[in-house]
Every structure is written in structure tokens, then in C-alpha cells.
Amino acid sequence: GSSRTPWNRVESWSSLPVVIIRSRVQFLLLVALLISVLGVWSQYFRVTRAPMAAGRLEQFSYEVFGKVQGVFFRKHTKKTAESLGLTGWVQNTPRGTVIGEAVGPVSQMASFEQWLSKTGSPKSRIEKCVITARRETGASEFKSFDIR
């Protein structure tokens, strides 16, 4: 007599999963195990990457000259900054310029600086953008990007 093991019942290797996983409960337990393993794995990598990303924040102050008031420049600045994941603020000045501060990842700050210098709001006309007090920071002092 031959002993009855799952391996003896395998007629082709394609039916192997059917033999090993005989019930829906076993299948659901296996899926749950895989999901939990992947969750722990992704959380581990998210935690190990976070400190590096946090150390690579840049902050700068800016002043934009030209036709930048009365053309929805602040509204578009806020929208652009938020789409780039930046925090900070923007406001008009009595002398007709727009000033502000921004904080975010270095690559996103480069995009924001380009937007402030060349693009602006659809009806604005930028003469120049002056960036000052550029520095690296560990964390943003701002919670959001605000129009002042």
C-alpha cells in the first residue's frame, strides 16, 4: 500500500496550489499573511527613508517684482506651492511687489523658484524674482501655505 500524502495526489504541477490550499479559509489566511508582510516591509522602508528626506528641506524668502498685484498672483502662488507640497506664505507689499517664504524638498523648491521667476499667474508680468535667506532646514516652521 502507498501512503496518502498531498504529493501523491498531484497529477500535474499546475494543480499543486489546489492540493496545498484546499479551502477558502486557508486561502484567505495566506492572503492576510502576505498583506501583513508587505505592510511591515513598506512601513520599514518608509521609516528608514523619512529622516533623510526631512534633512533635505530648503527654505528661502522671495520678492517678486513686476505686474504681480491685482492679477491673482498670490492665489496662483498658493496653488502652485501646495501642488509642490510646500509650506510658507505669500503677501502683497505697499510698494507693489509680492513677498513670501517657502519651505520644502530641494527639488520642489527649485520648481517653485522657476515658477516665481518665469511663470507666475496667467495675467502677471514678472520683471524679476529675488531669492534671499536660502538655507537648509530640518523641519518647516509653517503648517500650510497661506495668503497673508
Paired with 57 in beta bridges are 105, 137
Query: Catalytic annotation on 24?
Result: no
How far apart (Å, rounded) are the C-alpha atoms in residues 92 and 64? 10
Q: If you write DSSP's letter for every residue of 35-71 in order, what string do you get?
A: HHHHHHHHHHHHHHHHHHHHHTEEEEEEEEEEE-SSS
Phi and psi of 84, rounded to 5°?
Answer: -90, -5
Is residue 92 annotated as a catalytic residue, yes or no? yes
* Residue 8: all three cell numbers together: 501523491
The partner residues of 88 in beta bridges, in order of sequence, read 102, 145
**Catalytic, out of 92, 134, 135, 148:** 92
Q: Of the residues 22, 46, 56, 74, which is catalytic?
A: 74
Q: Which residues are catalytic?
A: 74, 92
